[in-house]
Structure 1
Amino acid sequence: MSRAGRPRTARIVALAYVVAMSVGGLIVGAQGSSHAGPLLFWLSQPGLNFLYVFVLMPLTAVFGDLGGGGGEAGASSSALACGLGAAVNVLLVRAAVCFLRVVAAELPMCRKRRTPVR
């Protein structure tokens, strides 16, 4: 497989993951309480935690509680939470892959510099 085909496949897989999580959140939110809800939130967990800590908590601190947090989450809020958590997960994986590529590209030059000259 050529290197040109890999980014397209990765984008398709990432998009399929985000869409599947959004649709799953919509279905779980429409059904109410089910056993698939904790699984969906577990699959979107690192990104969902990132959103809660770095987006929702500061917004709540700045604007205060707007009163919409009481009660059961609806279908759209479950789909939004799962979809945004999955999107942040995709971005976190992309950042990790880019970091590893930079390290792998710089590693031979670092080893070359550390070799003593005789």
Structure 2
Amino acid sequence: MAAAGLVTGAHASSDAELLLFRLSQPGLNVLYVFVLMPLTALFGDPGGGTGDAGGLALACGLGAAVNVLLVRAIVCAARAVAADLPACRKRRTPTL
């Protein structure tokens, strides 16, 4: 994702840039809400928004990394629930 962001930013392709942005969107939202917004609230807005290839590559790479972590957390949670289901069903069935 970071390499694709560098290439897309260097060639200024708006269609590919939009696709990369959409692919990394859930991770970017998490980064904005839990990292960038608190830092901006603490230290103020530096006002130096990067619109170059490096900024796009960084955003796509970090967004993709957070997406991987989000998917891993969801899979781990689903596995934990699936592992506990047989024990829960066994406890709920009445014994006669």
**Number of aligned residue pairs:** 96
Counterpart pick for 2:43 among 34, 47, 63 = 63
The residue type paired with residue 98 of structure 1 is C
Deviation at 1:31, TM superposition (A): 1.6
Separation of aligned partners in 1, 2:31 and 2:12: 23
Q: Which runs of 5+ in 2 are unaligned?
A: none
Answering whether residue 15 of structure 2 is matched by residue 29 of structure 1, we say no
Instruction: Give the SS at the match of 1:29.
Output: helix
Separation of aligned partners in 1, 2:9 and 2:16: 10
Instruction: Give the SS at the match of 1:35.
Output: helix
Q: Which runs of 5+ in 1 are unaligned?
A: 1-20
* Structure-2 residue corresponding to 1:96: 74
Identity %: 71
Separation of aligned partners in 2, 1:96 and 1:88: 12
Deviation at 1:89, TM superposition (A): 0.3
Answering whether residue 79 of structure 2 is matched by residue 76 of structure 1, we say no
Counterpart pick for 1:38 among 7, 18, 26 = 18
1:11-50 CA-to-partner distances (Å, cap 9, x unmatched) read: xxxxxxxxxx111111111122521110000000100111
The residue type paired with residue 62 of structure 1 is L
Stretches of 4+ aligned residues off by more than 3 angstroms: none
Separation of aligned partners in 1, 2:16 and 2:81: 39
**What's the TM-score once normalised by structure 2's chain length?**
0.94
* Structure-2 residue corresponding to 1:11: none
Separation of aligned partners in 2, 1:34 and 1:81: 15
* Structure-1 residue corresponding to 2:86: 108
When the two chains are superposed, the root-mean-square deviation of aligned CA atoms in Å is: 1.1
Deviation at 1:75, TM superposition (A): 1.1
* Structure-2 residue corresponding to 1:48: 28
